[in-house]
Structure 1
Amino acid sequence: MGEEIDKGATESRRVTRLSRLPEVQHRVGLGRSTIYRWMSEGKFPKPVQLGGYSVAWSEREVEAWISDRLK
């Protein structure tokens, strides 16, 4: 009767939150120009394209970047 759900598969999956530029700037304490310059130099995570000219950063990648700076 009905479909059986694999609980292991659903519990391990986590939703990635995306952050827009103003939030990223606030979190890391950097300005727009610095973020984009460091992205081109490979020093900061690149955003994902949302459509058109809209982009956002993975919260996990930004958190990992912050953690690396604190080591």
Structure 2
Amino acid sequence: MAAQLQTAPTILRRKQVEQRLSISRTTIYSRINPKSQHYDPTFPKPIDLGYRSVGWIESEIDAWIASRIAASRAAA
């Protein structure tokens, strides 16, 4: 039986998330801040990469995009 290769998750930096979603830095942080009126509990949480550095797991961003597409199609 062939061994399955496991790949490490890809981490997207903030600018990559901005470009991928076509949203601003402010919008990203508004969606993850529970005190914001634009808070979205379904939006992927960032992971801490070190001092003043965060990233997002690419597969979580992809899943969030897919959920937004599905919600949009269901509403139509």
What is the aligned partner in structure 1 of residue 50 from structure 2?
51
Aligned residues: 63
Structure 1: unaligned runs, 5 residues or longer: 1-5
In structure 2, runs of 5+ residues without a counterpart are: 34-38, 71-76
Superposed CA RMSD in Å reads 1.5
Counterpart mapping for 1:1-71 below 5 A: 7=3, 11=4, 13-40=6-33, 41=39, 42-71=41-70
Q: After the TM superposition, which segments of 4 or more aligned residues of structure 1 sit over 3 Å from their partners? A: none
Residues 43-70 of structure 1, C-alpha deviation per residue, up to 9 Å, x if partnerless?
4111110111110000000000100111
TM-score normalised to the size of structure 1? 0.79
Report the Cα offset of residue 33 of structure 1. Answer: 0.7
- TM-score, structure 2 length as denominator? 0.74
Higher relative contact order (CA closer than 8 Å, sequence separation 6+): 1
Distance in 1, Cα, partners of 2:7 & 2:21: 23
Percent identity of equivalent pairs: 35
